[in-house]
């Protein structure tokens, strides 16, 4: 050890650390994942970085309300047509003007089936985009789509420069992006960094922070260490186990976005016995001590829930958390004809907070009401190929952070036949269909709430709890985190 | 001439190995599941997934896909990364420098120190210093690299603040990854040099040298070490080959932008072309290293020229 430390010391003295220790107007952000490409129309990852280079027509403020972005206003002309009035005088970083043609181009290239955009599902309700005049654009949907303005506030609806892409091609664009956003692109070195610089002509005003460097640091301990030592000023993804490290040091703060994470649930394959029986599903629902799991296992960094819909989502219904009542569960099992229990498999991965430990606790709860549980824990890339085909019980997380609408939180995991759904409940399917074709907000909210009532009774899946989103920041960085998980550097300041 | 034939037969064996590896990486990956499902957004419809699968060529008969893969690979085209939308070959070559730097630096310091410690331990066999070196080298091989890496970060970054905790770009960034990675090789090389040297020091020609009255260190350096090097060179060749395929754990922990990290991310995301490129490259390095070791053998020990 002495040899090694002497060696390290020697080198450290000879070559003083050149790491970019945070300067006043430079923010280094440590992320757990590497960025692959920066074309906002064809992302296969979260839009965290491109969100700072590009703008959408509709934006969300800190309270998650929809506010004007590149569009100054929008109205529903009829059930299937939305008209957006565009902001005058906005230019792309290369000087190209922002106009209706740019909007049409940006959406059309994602919708064009030849381009095989992996993000097409987010805007596939659109049937055409029409330029009315240079500052007005109409978006026509195939069926009534009440969520269209919301869809225009997230990827892939970022507005890109048509001439620049036509000139340089898509591959060049993905590595040298040009947008209208608060930051302009400087460089992108895969697995090393993405550097952005403040756009002095930004239409919302000049950003406070002049330079942003995004660094992928996959290992959590290294990521947190780099925050504490001041190498980075903000980090994503703090594992529960390492929270105390951040709480103890004066050199960094924990950013806890309450209910900013995914809602964890048990998916159930309902197409065969015994989970086709509602009493069995209800029995499972009452055999889990959600309060103990969130308090003791997750250290209060998650909130027990009775519905998949988030409290900030449109259409939320405050469904009480199912009571932990093993006796009731045993009784329900007996009523269903399973006095002696049955054998069942519970699948899980390592993706979420203390995933394996939580799965084990749940399995124990199921054993206590007389079931014989086989636990299977899989690596994530294998797991995603398995759910929801095998199960019959599988643990997953789902969220609506990108749209903040109940639809995103429930449709894909409760509707029969959807790729991630194991549920088969006719009454729910009818309501879900109805929710997607109702434009009137009040009527729609009522339907979404009814869906949650039916779900609480029929248990298409077992909702467990919603994770908080955990980040870390340097004491001089002013950022509270956002419910939609974005990091808009434009709104961050440093003391 | 015998030596040449020996080397030619080794080269032919290497080609067969490469062919076998190409078949293995190709078919093994497809056995694990459908890449199209994983690559698409979670709420994509079946029709959208089908369209994507067709675009990527995943719906052709697997033997056709293999044929296409083999022909392209021979021309240096290993396909385009599904995630980066860039040639897999480019991604690989971009990271080659970082991996080579880490591999060579780790092997260099561990070899130099390993030779020194191994020689001391062999010459002072069964002395306290030999015992100490043996204990240290046992520890070095027993300690898992991820643990050592985290301990280094906690000590030198978190507590002492001498070194950056992760990243790439300056010599100070290289220190901890290189130390963490080289610790294992230091131990392995020390142990091998020691045992190999002890064996050589018992040979007749060494006794002759002693009889001539040469000093012990002169005997070790001039006569014994060269012969003791044969197994060590083999080991180093293999180590370098495996290191060039990427030091997975070390590169992940220290956010080192090398081939190992590329491989792990590609596997996690089922980025088939990149996984295939990395495995093929690692196999190629292995085959080439093996060949070079054979060449070194014939030079170090004429008796091998069969």
- Measured from the Cβ of residue B194, the count of other Cβ atoms closer than 10 Å reads 24
**DSSP designation for A314:** B
pLDDT of residue B84: 78
Contact check, Cβ <8 Å, A191/B257: yes
pLDDT at B305: 52
Give the DSSP letter string of B70-136: HHHHHTT---B-TTT-SBHHHHHHHHHHHHHHHHHHHHHHHHHHHHHHHHHHHHTTTSHHHHHHHHH
**Which has more confidence, A105 or B201?**
A105
What is the pLDDT confidence band of residue A439, given thresholds at 50, 70 and 90?
confident
Per-residue pLDDT at A204 exceeds 80: yes
Tell me the DSSP string of A52-78.
GT---SEEE-TT--EEESSEEEEEEEE
Q: How far is CA A67 from the centre of its chain?
A: 20
Domain count, chain A: 3
The two most distant CA atoms of chain A are separated, in Å, by 77
In a domain, A45, yes or no: no
Alpha-carbon distances of A103 from A41, A51, A84, A160, B144, rounded to whole Å: 12, 16, 10, 8, 54
Cis peptide before B289 (omega within 30 of 0): no
In a domain, A48, yes or no: no
Average pLDDT over residues A163-171: 93
> pLDDT tens, A238-273?
988 889 889 889 999 999 988 788 899 999 999 888
Quote the CA–CA distance of A376 and A357 in Å, as a whole number.
12
Which chain A residues are within 8 Å of B265, Cβ to Cβ? 34
- Return the H-helix or E-strand segment holding B50: helix B46-56
pTM of the prediction? 0.81
Nearest to B165 among A175, A231, A384 (CB): A231
Is the CB of residue A454 less than 8 Å from the CB of residue A431?
yes
- Residue of chain A with shortest Cα separation from B140: A1
What residues of chain B lie within 8 A of the CB of A11, using their CB?
171-172, 175
Would you say residue A15 lies in a domain?
yes
CA distance A97 to A86: 12
Residues A268 and A415 in one domain: yes
Among B43, B176, B257, whose Cβ lies nearest the Cβ of A412? B43
> Rounded to a whole number, what is the distance in Å from the CA of A13 to chain B's nearest CA?
8
**CA–CA separation, B58 and B251 (whole Å):** 31
Per DSSP (E only), the strands in A103-147 are 126-133, 136-141
The DSSP secondary structure of A231-288, one letter per residue, reads: S-SEES---GGGHHHHHH-TT-EEEEETT-SPEEEEEE-TTSTTTTSHHHHHHHHTS-
Using the Cβ of B253 and the Cβ atoms of chain A, whether some distance falls under 8 Å is answered with yes
Number of CB pairs < 8 Å for A and B? 172
Q: What does the DSSP 8-state code read for residue A97?
A: B
**Residue that the structure tokens 């290993």 belong to:** B78
Q: What is the model's pLDDT at position B208? A: 84
Q: Look at residue A372 and tell me if it is in a domain.
A: yes
Q: What was the pLDDT predicted at B173?
A: 93
Mean pLDDT of A355-381: 92
The verdict on residue A218 lying in a domain is: yes
The yes-or-no verdict on residue A284 having pLDDT over 70 is: yes
Closest alpha carbon within chain A to B177: A8
A340 and A418 share a domain? yes
User: Is A358 in the same domain as A410?
Assistant: yes
List the CATH number of the domain containing A157. Answer: 3.90.76.10
Separation CA B94–CA B73 (nearest Å): 18
Residues A25 and A121 in one domain: no
Average pLDDT over chain A reads 89
A194 - beta bridge partners?
A188, A214
Residues A308 and A423 in one domain: yes
Q: Are residues A427 and A301 in the same domain?
A: yes
The string of pLDDT tens digits covering residues B152-198 is 999 999 888 899 988 998 899 999 999 999 998 999 999 999 998 88
Please report how many Cα atoms fall inside a 13 Å half-sphere around the Cα of residue A416, on the Cβ side.
11
Whole-angstrom distance, CA of residue A152 vs CA of residue B199: 75
Q: Which of B33, B24, B36, B13 is nearest to B69 (CA)?
A: B24
- Asked whether residue A71 falls in the same domain as residue A107, the answer is yes
| Partner residue facing B51 (CB), from A116, A119, A412 | A116
Residue B302: the pLDDT is 63
Using a CB-CB distance cutoff of 8 angstroms, which residues of chain A are in contact with residue B178?
A: none
Task: Kindly report the length of chain A.
Answer: 495
A46 is written with which tokens? 């979260």
The pLDDT of residue A383 is above 90: no
Q: Residue A59's pLDDT is what?
A: 94
Q: Judge if A239 and A286 occupy the same domain.
A: no
CA distance A307 to A464: 9
Domain enclosing residue A195, as ranges: 2-32+182-258+469-494
Q: What is the pLDDT of residue B38?
A: 61
Strand partners, A97: A91
**Cβ contacts of residue B149 below 8 Å, gap of 6+?**
B176, B177, B180, B249, B250, B253, B254
Residue A52 maps to a domain? no
pLDDT value at residue A8: 41
Asked, for residue A176, whether it belongs to a domain, the answer is no
Give the model confidence (pLDDT) of A107-132 as tens digits. Answer: 999 999 888 777 787 888 899 999 99
**Residue A68 and residue A18 in one domain:** no
- Burial class of residue B74 (count of CB atoms within 10 Å of its CB; 0-12, 13-18, 19+): exposed
pLDDT at A19 over 80: no
Whether A389 and A405 map to the same domain: the answer is yes
Eight-class DSSP state of A91: B
Question: In this structure, is residue A40 part of a structural domain?
Answer: no
Q: Are A82 and A68 in the same domain?
A: yes
Low-confidence ranges of chain B (pLDDT < 70): 1-3, 29-30, 32-35, 37-45, 56, 300-306
Instruction: Note the Cα A183 to chain centre separation in Å.
Output: 22
CA distances A191 to A51, A101, B142, B234, Å, are: 19, 35, 30, 33
A206 and A241 co-located in one domain: yes
**B46 in reach of chain A (CB within 8 A):** yes
A381: domain CATH number is: 3.10.105.10
Comparing A459 with B275, the larger pLDDT belongs to A459
Rounded CA-CA distance A306/B229 in Å is 69
Query: What was the pLDDT predicted at B306?
Result: 47
Residues 62-81 of B with CB under 8 A from A: 81
Residue A98 DSSP label: P
Contacts of B263 in chain A (CB under 8 A): none
Q: Hey, how many other C-beta atoms are within 10 angstroms of the C-beta on B150?
A: 18
User: DSSP string spanning B269-281?
Assistant: TT-HHHHHHHHHH
* CATH code (residue A225): 3.40.190.10
Contact A338, A344 (CB under 8 A): no
Any idea how long chain B is?
306
Q: Are A76 and A439 in contact (CB under 8 A)?
A: yes
| More confident site: B170 or A403 | B170
- List chain A residues with CB under 8 Å of B166: 217, 219, 222-223, 225-226, 231
Six token digits for residue A40: 């906002």
Higher-confidence residue of A79 and A53: namely: A53
Cβ–Cβ below 8 Å for B43 and A215? no
């Amino acid at each position: 050890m002495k040899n090694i430390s002497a060696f390290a010391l020697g080198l450290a003295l000879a070559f003083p650390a050149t790491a970019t220790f945070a300067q006043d107007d430079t923010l280094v952000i440590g992320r757990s994942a590497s960025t692959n490409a920066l074309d906002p129309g064809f992302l296969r990852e979260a839009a965290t970085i491109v969100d700072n280079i590009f703008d959408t027509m509709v934006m969300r403020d800190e309270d998650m309300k929809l506010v004007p972005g590149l569009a100054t206003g929008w109205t529903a002309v009829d059930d299937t047509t939305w008209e957006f009035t565009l902001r005058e005088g906005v230019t792309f970083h290369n000087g190209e003007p922002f106009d209706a043609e740019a909007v049409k181009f940006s959406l059309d290239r994602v919708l064009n089936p030849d381009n095989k955009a992996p993000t097409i599902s987010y805007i596939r309700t659109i049937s055409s985009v029409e330029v009315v005049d240079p500052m007005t654009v109409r978006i026509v949907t195939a069926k009534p789509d009440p969520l269209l303005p919301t869809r225009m506030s997230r990827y892939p609806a970022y507005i890109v420069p048509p001439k620049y892409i036509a000139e340089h091609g898509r591959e060049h664009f993905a590595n040298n992006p040009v947008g209208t956003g608060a930051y302009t692109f400087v460089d992108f070195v895969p697995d090393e960094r993405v550097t952005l610089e403040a756009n002095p002509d930004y239409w919302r005003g000049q950003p406070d922070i002049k330079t942003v460097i995004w660094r992928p640091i996959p290992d959590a301990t290294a990521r947190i260490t780099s925050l504490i030592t001041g190498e980075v000023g903000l980090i994503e993804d703090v594992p529960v186990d390492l929270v105390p490290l951040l709480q103890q040091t004066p050199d960094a703060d924990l950013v806890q976005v309450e209910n900013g994470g995914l809602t964890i649930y048990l998916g159930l394959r309902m197409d065969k016995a015994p989970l086709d029986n509602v009493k069995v599903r209800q029995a499972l629902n009452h055999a889990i001590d959600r309060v103990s799991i969130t308090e003791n296992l997750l250290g209060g960094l998650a909130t027990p829930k009775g519905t998949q819909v988030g409290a900030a989502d449109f259409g939320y219904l405050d469904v009480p958390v199912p009571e932990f009542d093993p006796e009731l569960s045993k009784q329900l099992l007996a009523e269903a004809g399973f006095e002696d229990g049955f054998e069942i498999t519970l699948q899980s991965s390592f993706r979420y907070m203390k995933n394996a430990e939580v799965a084990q606790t749940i399995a124990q709860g199921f054993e206590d009401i007389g079931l014989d549980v086989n636990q299977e824990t899989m690596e994530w890339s294998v797991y995603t190929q398995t759910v929801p085909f095998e199960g019959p019980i599988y643990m997953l997380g789902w969220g609506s952070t990108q749209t903040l609408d109940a639809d995103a939180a429930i449709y894909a995991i409760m509707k029969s036949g959807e790729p991630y759904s194991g549920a088969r409940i006719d009454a729910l399917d009818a309501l879900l269909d109805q929710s997607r074709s109702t434009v009137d907000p009040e009527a729609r909210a009522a339907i979404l709430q009814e869906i949650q009532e039916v779900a609480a009774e029929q248990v298409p899946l077992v909702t467990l709890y919603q994770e908080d989103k955990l980040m870390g920041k340097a004491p001089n960085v002013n950022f509270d985190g956002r419910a939609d998980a974005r990091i808009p550097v434009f709104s961050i300041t440093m003391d | 001439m015998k030596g040449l034939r020996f080397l030619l037969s080794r080269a032919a064996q290497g080609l067969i190995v490469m062919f076998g590896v190409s078949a293995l990486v190709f078919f093994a990956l497809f056995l694990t599941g459908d890449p199209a499902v994983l690559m698409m957004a979670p709420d994509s419809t079946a029709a959208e997934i089908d369209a994507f699968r067709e675009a990527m060529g995943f719906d052709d008969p697997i033997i056709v896909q293999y044929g296409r893969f083999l022909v392209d690979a021979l021309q240096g085209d290993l396909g385009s990364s599904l995630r980066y939308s860039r040639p897999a070959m480019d991604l690989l070559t971009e990271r080659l420098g970082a991996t080579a730097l880490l591999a060579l630096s780790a092997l260099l310091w561990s070899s130099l120190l390993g030779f020194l410690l191994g020689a001391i331990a062999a010459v002072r066999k069964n002395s306290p210093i030999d015992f100490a070196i043996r204990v240290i080298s046992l520890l070095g091989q027993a300690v898992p690299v991820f643990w050592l890496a985290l301990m280094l970060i906690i000590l030198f970054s978190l507590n002492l603040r001498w070194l950056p905790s992760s990243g790439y770009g300056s010599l100070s960034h290289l220190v901890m990854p290189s130390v963490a990675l080289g610790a294992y090789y230091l131990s392995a090389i020390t142990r091998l040099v020691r045992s190999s040297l002890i064996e050589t020091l018992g040979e007749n020609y060494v006794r002759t040298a002693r009889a001539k009255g040469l000093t012990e260190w002169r005997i070790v350096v001039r006569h014994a070490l060269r012969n003791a090097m044969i197994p060590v060179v083999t080991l180093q060749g293999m180590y370098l080959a495996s290191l060039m395929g990427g030091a997975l754990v070390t590169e992940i922990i220290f956010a080192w932008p090398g081939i190992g990290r590329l491989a792990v991310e590609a596997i996690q995301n089922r980025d088939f072309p990149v996984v295939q490129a990395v495995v093929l490259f690692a196999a190629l390095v292995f085959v080439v290293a093996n060949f070079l070791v054979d060449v070194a053998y014939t030079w170090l020990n004429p008796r091998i020229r069969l």
